[in-house]
Amino acid sequence: MSPWLLDGDPADSVPITDRGLHYGDGLFETIAVRDGAARFLDLHLRRLEGGLKRLGIPVPARGRLEAEVRQVIADCAHGAAKIIVTRGTGQRGYRPPPAPAPRRIVGVTPTAPAPRQHYSRGIELRLCHTPVSANPVTAGMKTLNRLEQVLARAEWSDPDVAEGLMLDVRGRVVSGTMTNIFVVRHDRLHTPPVHATGIAGIMRRVVLDQAGSIDLEARETHMTAADVGAAAELFVTNSQIGIWPVRRFEATCFAPGPWTNKLMQRLAAIGVIECAP
């Protein structure tokens, strides 16, 4: 059986007229699967529902999406489930159809665990040249338009570099190509705001929530690449990896710091098993 469902039925293709293919007219969620369970599924579905409402795309029934996710991940020990909702098929041209029939694509891809040294020693982070556009209308959402991230990720092939840092056209830090970024300065946690650009990551939200439980003040703060290099601690997050400390950014070296370690312990305690020592 196909590991992908199209509107609830096994499939390996989508109609060529789909607006997600033509215009990137839709949203997606990528969900960590561990031992047949979808991690933070409720948070992912809430973000998806909120984004679809912002785009004016009818929201699929929550129970239907939950059932389809559970169907495709039932036998998956370690993987990434994906939900894609497009506006469906419409007439030619940018104008959305007056009564859209959204299309649901749900599937899972088996994945290998990340190397343990990414958690114990940290990763190498480089600075990307490709900038991220700013648009408050779509900021925070995981739209199907990821070309900027594709171009940024194409900038390097060094296997020792695990992630790239992306800036906006004004030189302010936005995120990694696939992650949100956090810095610790003066015993405060800082991450770029996402009201004008960037992705409101699920793990970003979890980390911000958990910071309070260890008495670490968290703020959304505009920052530059120089600010990142001057941080006391530096780490990146996403739903698949949890937290990766950064051991090197360009010419600056770091070690996993006490606040990073405490946050990793908190995540491990609530089910992000990768972060366990």
Q: List the domain boundaries for the chain.
A: 4-110, 117-275
Give the number of other Cβ atoms within 10 Å of residue 249's Cβ: 22
Q: What are phi and psi of 257, to 5 degrees?
A: -95, 175
4-110 and 117-275, same CATH topology: no
Give the pLDDT score at 1. Answer: 53
User: pLDDT digits over 49-96, tens only?
Assistant: 999 999 999 999 999 999 999 999 999 999 999 999 999 998 899 999
At the top level of CATH, the class of 4-110 is alpha beta
DSSP 212: G
Distances (CA, A) of 6 to 71, 101, 110, 205, 234: 13, 13, 19, 29, 40
The residue-averaged pLDDT of 222-243 equals 98
The pTM for the full model equals 0.95
pLDDT in tens, 153-186: 999 999 999 999 999 999 999 999 999 999 999 9
Assigned token pair, 111: 């994945």
- pLDDT at position 91, please? 87
- As a whole number of angstroms, the distance between CA 102 and CA 85 comes to 6
Q: How many CA atoms lie within 13 A of 270 on its CB side?
A: 14
- The alpha carbon of 170 is separated from its chain's Cα centroid by a whole number of angstroms, namely 23
- Architecture of the 117-275 domain: Alpha-Beta Barrel (3.20)
Torsion angle of the four alpha carbons 67, 71, 74, 77, in this order, in degrees rounded to the nearest 10 = -100
